[in-house]
Structure 1
């Protein structure tokens, strides 16, 4: 059971970094720092979009319009941190006994 908990924890950790990379890449594209006409950049942006958009879309529907500021990645990261903490709160004490 502890192996499954560690696997889930690792997946949450990797997805956390994917969400952070997606947010940073969207800022870089929005401010014109990177050029999306470059095929490599386009592939990276598309990959990050496909990995994060299915989770971010429902969060964006719930959040009110904040005038162009998208805080859905922050909400998702808070949810991932909470899920990770909850996982270890319930799994780890079961193995200490």
Structure 2
């Protein structure tokens, strides 16, 4: 059961990494450091979009419209942290 606990924490860490990568890449594209017309950049960008859209879409439906500011990555990261806290507080159930 310890391995299940560790695998869950690893998956949460991977999800956090993907959200951070998407967030940083969106800023780099906005400030024109990265060009979306480059094939590699476009492939990575659209891949991250496809991975994260099922997470972001329900959050965007719940959150109020903030104009150009998208708070769904922040809410997703807070949700992942909350799940991690719950898992760590109940780690005794996995042993």
Fold match by TM threshold 0.5: yes
Q: Residue 11 of structure 2 aligns with which residue?
A: 11
Per the TM alignment, residue 65 of structure 1 is displaced from its structure 2 partner at its CA by 1.0
Deviation sequence 1:23-80 (CA, Å, 0-9, x none): 1111111221111111010111011111111101110110001121111100000000
Query: How do residues 53-68 of structure 1 correspond to structure 2 at under 5 angstroms?
Result: 53-68=53-68
Provide the C-alpha distance between the structure 1 equivalents of 2:45 and 2:57, rounded to a whole number of angstroms. Answer: 16
Q: Residue 20 of structure 1 aligns with which residue?
A: 20
Query: Could you tell me the TM-score, scaled by structure 1's length?
Result: 0.91
Query: Could you tell me the TM-score, scaled by structure 2's length?
Result: 0.93
Equivalent pairs, count: 94
5+ residue gaps, structure 2, are none
Per the TM alignment, residue 93 of structure 1 is displaced from its structure 2 partner at its CA by 2.6
5+ residue gaps, structure 1, are none
Tell me the C-alpha RMSD between the 2 structures. Answer: 1.0
